[in-house]
Amino acid sequence: PQDHFQFPIMPNQQNFLSGNMGEIRGDHFHAGIDIRTGGKTGNPVYAAADGYVYRIKISTGGYGNVLYIAHPAQMTQLQEGYITVYAHLKKFNEPIARYVRQKQYQNESFQIELFPDSRQFPVKKGQQIGLSGNSGSSRGPHLHFEIRDDTEKALNPLYFGFDEIKDNIPPRFFKIALRTLDIRSRINGEFGRLEFIPIIEETINVTGLIGIEIESYDQVNRSRRKMGVNFIELMMDNTLLYRYHLEKLNFNKTKNVKVHIDYETALREKRKFQRCYLADGNILKCYHTPGLSPPGNSVGQAGRKGKIFINDTLLHSVTIRIYDAYHNSAQIKLTLKGASSKFDIHEPFPPPPTTINYSVFENILKVSAKGYAHYNSPAQIFINSFNYELPAAYNNNNEVVYLWDLRKGLPDSMNFCGINKKFPFTEIIPSNTEFYFSNKKIDLYFSKKALFDTLYLQIMNTDYTDKNTDY
């Protein structure tokens, strides 16, 4: 509904934000908007609509001093009921503050959560309910404000028609990344991840299954704060492959942000790339992935959940658009050129001294040997005393690369030109499954919801020594 809710602080004058709905905060999505209060506490906070206080909570972290007001459908003449949330308050208005103090003394606890009767604290639209503050886990004075539906799912407050917020600044791209998603995929001839700044339209050689990631941010008028982008579209050859629109958030699933973003890059570099495809284990409901599968087209995308599959040598146009709540938008275009992944045959050079490194990339073990620019002989990989011949995948930048799909088995070691490389792989731990692992030195338990994706467990024994390992 438009124009039903009153802005909760400094109404009828321009306000400014320091955070928006869907912004990625640590291990969760931000569930509301953060309204700036001029660097001070004590601004009056008003009820957004008629209703009653149904929940009160005081804690030293989280939302701090917070009020929850219910707006049932029968009280609002709306088809649906709503809940509004007012967090990080300095204090509550009387008689709410008096009621809370009484319960704190009774429970002998400062931190408290209360659910008063629906008739105890009725409120009218525009009635003052407290003062803005900096309580809980707030990093500066502001009001955190949410609008939820009657099932407690968070909605974007900026869709409710508040004129107090002005925004004519489009969101912005910062970086783009392409990621190989199966063992036959290549980006500019290599397996792995390519990251770049989209200054001009790029042409990139790819083959196989590819995922695109973006690092982007949004801004609103008179705010230098970089906020989140919660609406992304990916199109290839003028057909929609992927749409992400976080307009409703289930709090029980907010930690799925770890699988929505490239979590490995976020941990390693403190930068948040949003995937433009659905990764394994992602159960959020804010995606639309129609795909593309016209007759006679060799690039069938249907059922790939936004992942791009290219097995031809044609040019393909990719457009990525991002939007904010005020319909400001930005877009970039890439050209993906289908390229053969055939490995060029070269005469082997005499093996020079080398180092062998390995990494796990999704489900693929990548082993690279430096100093073998044109070497193409197979390696030997050992799994449970079985010996498999592993051909070279490609060579580039003075190294030869071997790829192994770990779903086929966990290798014990690998022999390359007489050099033996040991691996500490111990067990495949599936996602969404209760799993026990035990050996002579350790017992591990994984609950059903412990893992978003398959874990290739590596345990380093105290007597394990390998000068070429990164551990």
pLDDT band at 351 (very low <50, low <70, confident <90, very high): low
Average pLDDT over residues 120-140: 95
**pLDDT on residue 355:** 80
pLDDT in tens, 378-399: 889 999 889 999 999 988 777 8
- Note whether 109 and 100 are within 8 A (CB): no
Question: What 8-state DSSP symbol labels residue 227?
Answer: B
pLDDT in tens, 73-107: 887 678 889 999 999 999 999 999 999 999 999 99
* Alpha helices in 358-460, H assignment, sequence order: none
Query: Under 8 Å CB-to-CB from 236, ≥6 apart: which residues?
Result: 292, 301, 308, 316, 317, 318, 319, 336
Quote the CA–CA distance of 442 and 410 in Å, as a whole number: 19
Phi and psi of 316, rounded to 5°? -130, 130
The percent of residues above 90 in pLDDT, for the chain, comes to 73
pLDDT in tens, 422-432: 999 999 999 98
Quote the CA–CA distance of 205 and 31 in Å, as a whole number: 39
List the single range of 44-58, 66-80, 183-197 with lowest mean pLDDT.
Answer: 66-80
Four-residue CA torsion sign, 327, 333, 338, 342: negative
Phi and psi of 106, rounded to 5°? -65, -40
**pLDDT on residue 297:** 44
Q: Taking 70 as the threshold, does the pLDDT of residue 301 lie above it?
A: no
* Alpha helices in 152-281, H assignment, sequence order: 257-260, 263-269
Q: Which of 37, 53, 49 is CA-nearest to residue 117?
A: 53
Three-state SS for 9-61 is ECCCCCECEEECCCCEECCEECCCEEEECCCCCCCEEECCCCEEEEEEEECCC
**pLDDT on residue 448:** 92
Phi and psi of 265, rounded to 5°? -65, -35
**pLDDT on residue 1:** 87
Q: Which of 269, 310, 273 is CA-nearest to residue 181?
A: 310
pLDDT in tens, 151-182: 999 999 999 999 999 999 999 999 999 999 99
pLDDT in tens, 206-240: 999 999 999 999 988 877 889 999 999 999 999 99
Average pLDDT over residues 189-197: 93
Helix (H, G, I), strand (E, B) or coil at 159: helix
- Note whether 379 and 351 are within 8 A (CB): no
Q: Is the peptide bond before 294 cis (omega within 30 degrees of 0)?
A: no
Q: Which residue has the tokens 């053969």?
A: 340
Quote the CA–CA distance of 252 and 152 in Å, as a whole number: 10
User: H/E element holding 388?
Assistant: strand 386-390
* Of 88 and 420, the one with more pLDDT: 88
Q: Taking 80 as the threshold, does the pLDDT of residue 450 lie above it?
A: yes
Longest pairwise C-alpha distance within the chain: 86
The percent of residues above 70 in pLDDT, for the chain, comes to 91
**pLDDT on residue 377:** 79
Q: Taking 60 as the threshold, does the pLDDT of residue 7 lie above it?
A: yes
Mean pLDDT of all residues belonging to the chain: 89
Helix (H, G, I), strand (E, B) or coil at 103: helix
